[in-house]
Structure 1
Amino acid sequence: MNESDFNAAADLALAALARALEASGAQCDCEFRGDGVLEIEFEDRGRIIVNRHSAAKEIWVAARSGGFHFRPSGGQWVNTRDGTEFFAALSRLISENGGGAVVLRPDY
């Protein structure tokens, strides 16, 4: 996958995450900036930052509980450490960070 294809695929995933968050009723605000960064902010001012990392061809997630890297595999994004699917991992992280119990699903 070249850089342009990666950026397009990662931006689709980030936009789908933003839409899923809005539809979920999660207790957080999200802002998808056009530069490949999605910021999720909670009432206590905690944040999760999700961004594409073109050089590594990964989506990176920074949360209170640590950093996570996701690579494309079989039509989804999977955690490079434990194979967890991207939307399942973000559902857990958002729930843990005070966003309420949410289950996020991609719409692409």
Structure 2
Amino acid sequence: MNELEYLDAAEKLLLSVEQACDRINDDTDADIDAQRVGGMVTLTFSNRSQIIINLQPPLHEVWMAAKSGGYHYKWDGKVWRDTKTGNDFYADLTRDATAQSAMKLLFGA
């Protein structure tokens, strides 16, 4: 993967997270505040807990920090996969957002 391919895939991921937050806020009482600054999106839940997703261009990775820990994802050509567990980014985000918000939330591509 070259730099342009990484940036394209990573930007699509961040945009999909922002759009999912908008959808979730419209459909539920979750009230997720999604703030984007450059290559970083911070999700703040009503209980003030946060999930931070940021781009790591030199490594061609996307990192996510949540209460459960920190995760590094690489694009495998189809999905962003955790470099240690192989889990899909959206499955991990769904798990952590659900835990931190105490509401069933669903994120996906």
Could you say which TM-score interval applies, normalised by the shorter chain? 0.7 to 0.9
Q: C-alpha displacement at 1:87, in angstroms?
A: 0.9
Cα RMSD, aligned residues only? 1.4
Q: C-alpha displacement at 1:65, in angstroms?
A: 1.3
Structure 1 runs not aligned, ≥5 long: none
Counterpart residue number, 1:37:
40
Counterpart residue number, 2:107:
104
Structure number with higher helix proportion:
2
Cα distance in 2 for residues equivalent to 1:32 and 1:13? 13
Structure 2 runs not aligned, ≥5 long: none
Q: C-alpha deviations, 1:51-76, integer Å up to 9, x for none?
A: 11011111000111110011001311
Percent of residue pairs identical: 29
Counterpart residue number, 1:13:
13
Q: C-alpha displacement at 1:99, in angstroms?
A: 5.4
Aligned length: 105
Higher relative contact order (CA 8 A, sep 6+): 1
Q: C-alpha deviations, 1:13-35, integer Å up to 9, x for none?
A: 110111112212362211233x1
8 A Cα contact 1:15 1:32, kept in partner: no
* Aligned amino acid, residue 52 of structure 2: I
SS at 2:35 equivalent: strand
Q: C-alpha displacement at 1:81, in angstroms?
A: 1.1
